[in-house]
Structure 1
């Protein structure tokens, strides 16, 4: 090999060591294109890493396949085992589970008979993940602790931090929240202090933020999402040439950062809760463009969050499109889609959608927030169709799930307060809803706080406190207007304008409003006749009058009007 060739490879190795991946990729890619210049197994591994960081995922896989073959040819089982594991991980991200399983089997073949070594940490991490997924928490904990022992033996800060995350994940699934968060905090100290390589920094940010959101630890999710976005933004550390100073840390990669889209997708969910909706939607669009092809679940999450924003702003067609995009990328778009159907007056579809999502959730302990959101939506939908026992059942399960987790506690108190109000028990409703409001305000989650104020206003009126009701409605309307939640703002304004005995919209009579409520609940003419003790002929006459007054031509359109004008 000529001196210029050796120099080029050495410069690529040096660039990779300081994580200047664009430079390393350019040097090795140019060298690799020459048919007579074979790269070593280690250099092919550098090329694979550099290609991934530079956005060339397919090329990364191809280079790693060649690296594996070179390690096998050289009798290097540890190198071959690690290459096999990374191929399994990459294929899993690309949506090729059969290829992923095959390469994981090869990784075990190469590494299982080796003396304890750092490469076995990756197998232990996968073992912990797989055991947790099938609900075998004892096996998951054993694998995570095996990984910790191997990581300590290796002296690798990267592997030790990842082992802490793995053990935290198991403890969260077992309900041992304090232990889990202590371990996760320890791992994130290493991340934020710049002690880890770029790959493990980005990896742990994504894993930890996901764990915090799943565990409904909103405060940590906000803090680490902000830190992750700072890490992702240019300029990144790493030197453009060997003449720059050598003291620059290697914890942040130079060039394009493929973790940026994934971290931005996490940020969208945080911004949504914080009420920064315009920014959340803009960030969602960016995230969908930036997410690498092997991380499409993050793009799905961004589309879903955008759909939630659009739904609450009354942009129902746009919300439906966003939920459809999320579904295309593999995410079940619930409970957002169920709440969209409710807003469209399709109550039966809303009930069916949220019930199916609850039934299909494989391991609620792994996603507390996801389960809680489904239960909260189930309670809301049930109340909309006047299924108070169904709403109470969902609220009761949510209460058990919540424990002392602030975000879940606020959700549970909201649901239970709404049920108490529907049961004509305004005093307990007021106690629960005031506690819920305090929780949402402390978490700085404005939309949910404003929704609770609407419920509080109804409870205040039920006990005869019109002044308190108007204060709550005014505060809620101000938040809805600031957020652009147009349907909610109109509802609050209508309740303020009409007071406790507001005029019915559209010129409806009280009896016509009763008929419309029953139509919106899915009642047939026969059902309505039985409920109101009138003839079906009279029901039909009321419906004709309702359609004429509201300017609609179908039961579905009338139902949509009822939801939009708070007639339920």
Structure 2
């Protein structure tokens, strides 16, 4: 690439300018974006120096990476004009596509649509060229968004053909990702994930540019989680965070409070993809049970996410809310879910489960019903809909709607197929329904606990294989109930003890208290006063000083249900106050 023609007063000035531009070009080639931005920006500010169209395009790239989005757009507009003046339609078309991309990220859809139209005007009449790959990529994404898998497949096939012809590793990797998305939407899961692996391997091997590497990690991690491929999500999330670390130096955390507002720009020298990749990592850490780290990473992600990726910040807030909810920090969870909602995410099913823990069962049922009604094609986000169905099963059982729980569990079972994460979720839901006295798959005359046991044992095996501890511990609680129903007290106590250990390690205090209460209740088979096992649990928590709200949270039931149990307890024991009931509990060794 030749040096630009510069109108300066002497050969020395021309030579110095040429050297500076060459240094800038070298920095661009090395993807040293902060350095390139400083050099090109300085040259561009000089009143008698003009950057070429290529250099203006490089300045736009460097400004974007350095967090100066407005300057990036301004430089790209000038680059487009320079290419048009030179009658270079390929260059102009590519800059127009980039302007479409940047304006879309800035939340200006009309401007984005206009520049996409210009990109088509420049490129569509030309013989096949690499720049047309970006149009084909956009066509594939738009077709998927409009529910046209055939159109998406045709566009991704065209993109692949153009990419192969270009010989560009970047374009070939992007074409494989596009094809993967299309195949996944068609239910061709194996083919889709194989293509995705191929594209990500090119990224992890360092074969691709920084921009394409960042795109692939963001897109692939989203695909893995939506497809519920948890092992891939773990592997590729770790790879993405390794790529995000060097050579960009992160900023230190800003305290241990709630996540701070998302900054308008990313400071110079940082990787703009890091916040997005970190937000994906939060979801993975949450499932793995690394809750303290997940919450800390959520706070950091909200600091690092660029302004055009606020959906990632919303996901981080939501994941933090899930951690806080399960730890019994209900006020903190309420704030986190509210932040996620402000940023555009429907905070379900976490918010419904929070309402259930607060005893607000009507709100829990209504929230899940609305979320399911608003959900789109389940094939687009298998994990999202599956989580809603799992929560619907849990809430329905809590309010005594066993048929509603069975319906949700059956739909989840159909969605799950042979996907390990979803299969563990479906087996858990169906096992819980069977334990409640109904469910498909066994003869009507089989006792509920006998129908539940094989499903729950398979669910436990699935969660353990995936190394997802919280859900595994929850299944152990259900297994303990089934074991006690068949008279195997020793097995029940083993399950409860294992569950309590996990809950205590995770900091899931409400669940740990519930497991401890059930362990204590297993010391005797006959309860005094004609109390049921659940009434004895409630009485123990009353004797320990628990309010109705505390007991509802510990046992995951509504406060109305707690009141009903207390009325029954008072009637059976012939007492008229909590103090008298507490005295009875201590006198009969129930505490």
Q: TM-score, normalised by structure 1?
A: 0.86
Q: Identify the residue that residue 510 of structure 2 maps to in structure 1.
A: 487
**1:357-395, Cα deviation, whole Å (9 max, x unpaired):** 111112210111111111111111111111111111111
Q: Does 1:432 align with 2:455?
A: yes
Q: Identify the residue that residue 409 of structure 1 maps to in structure 2.
A: 423
Q: Identify the residue that residue 120 of structure 1 maps to in structure 2.
A: 132
| Deviation of 1:454 (Å) | 0.5
Q: Identify the residue that residue 168 of structure 1 maps to in structure 2.
A: 180
| Deviation of 1:547 (Å) | 12
Of the structure 1 ranges 335-344 and 434-443, higher mean CA displacement relative to structure 2 is found in: 335-344
8 Å Cα contact 1:461-1:469 kept in structure 2: yes
CA distance in 2, matches of 1:280, 1:162: 30
Residue 504 and residue 489 in structure 1: after superposition, are their counterparts in 2 closer, same or farther (change >3 A)? closer
8 Å Cα contact 2:21-2:40 kept in structure 1: yes
8 Å Cα contact 1:338-1:351 kept in structure 2: yes
Number of residue pairs aligned between Structure 1 and Structure 2: 516
| Candidates 463, 466, 469, aligned match of 2:492 | 469
CA distance in 2, matches of 1:522, 1:171: 49
CA distance in 2, matches of 1:84, 1:350: 47
**1:234-265, Cα deviation, whole Å (9 max, x unpaired):** 2369xxxxxxxxxxxxxxxx942111111111
Taking the TM superposition and a 5 Å limit, the aligned residue runs for 1:72-471 are 72-235=84-247, 255-423=269-437, 425-471=448-494
| Deviation of 1:199 (Å) | 0.8
8 Å Cα contact 1:384-1:521 kept in structure 2: no
Let me know the Cα RMSD of the aligned residues: 2.6
CA distance in 1, matches of 2:132, 2:239: 30
SS of alignment partner, residue 206 of structure 2: coil
8 Å Cα contact 1:418-1:455 kept in structure 2: yes
CA distance in 2, matches of 1:80, 1:546: 85
CA distance in 2, matches of 1:375, 1:88: 37
| Deviation of 1:73 (Å) | 2.4
**1:202-252, Cα deviation, whole Å (9 max, x unpaired):** 111111111111111111111111111111112369xxxxxxxxxxxxxxx
| Candidates 43, 61, 81, aligned match of 1:31 | 43
8 Å Cα contact 1:386-1:521 kept in structure 2: no
8 Å Cα contact 1:348-1:522 kept in structure 2: no
Q: Identify the residue that residue 538 of structure 2 maps to in structure 1.
A: 505
Of the structure 1 ranges 169-178 and 405-414, higher mean CA displacement relative to structure 2 is found in: 169-178
SS of alignment partner, residue 332 of structure 1: coil
The structure whose RCO (Cα within 8 Å, separation 6+) is larger is 1
CA distance in 1, matches of 2:121, 2:539: 73
Residue 521 and residue 315 in structure 1: after superposition, are their counterparts in 2 closer, same or farther (change >3 A)? closer
Residue 546 and residue 359 in structure 1: after superposition, are their counterparts in 2 closer, same or farther (change >3 A)? farther
| Deviation of 1:120 (Å) | 0.8
| Deviation of 1:323 (Å) | 0.9
CA distance in 2, matches of 1:326, 1:65: 34
CA distance in 2, matches of 1:16, 1:301: 33
CA distance in 2, matches of 1:428, 1:80: 66
Residue 360 and residue 548 in structure 1: after superposition, are their counterparts in 2 closer, same or farther (change >3 A)? farther
8 Å Cα contact 2:517-2:537 kept in structure 1: no
Q: Identify the residue that residue 11 of structure 1 maps to in structure 2.
A: 23
Residue 546 and residue 98 in structure 1: after superposition, are their counterparts in 2 closer, same or farther (change >3 A)? farther
Structure 1 unaligned residues grouped into runs of 5+: 238-253, 533-537, 551-568
SS of alignment partner, residue 490 of structure 1: helix
**1:510-538, Cα deviation, whole Å (9 max, x unpaired):** xxx9xx99x93979x9xx9xxx9xxxxx9
8 Å Cα contact 2:100-2:115 kept in structure 1: yes
CA distance in 2, matches of 1:461, 1:351: 30
| Deviation of 1:269 (Å) | 0.7
CA distance in 2, matches of 1:126, 1:165: 12
Q: TM-score, normalised by structure 2?
A: 0.83
8 Å Cα contact 1:94-1:295 kept in structure 2: no
CA distance in 2, matches of 1:546, 1:151: 80
8 Å Cα contact 2:356-2:558 kept in structure 1: no
**1:55-94, Cα deviation, whole Å (9 max, x unpaired):** 2122212211222222222222211211121121122222
**1:137-174, Cα deviation, whole Å (9 max, x unpaired):** 11111100100000011111000011001111111111
SS of alignment partner, residue 85 of structure 1: helix
SS of alignment partner, residue 366 of structure 1: coil
8 Å Cα contact 1:385-1:521 kept in structure 2: no
8 Å Cα contact 1:41-1:71 kept in structure 2: yes
**1:101-156, Cα deviation, whole Å (9 max, x unpaired):** 22212211221111111111111111111111111111111100100000011111
**1:301-338, Cα deviation, whole Å (9 max, x unpaired):** 11111111001000111111111111111111111111
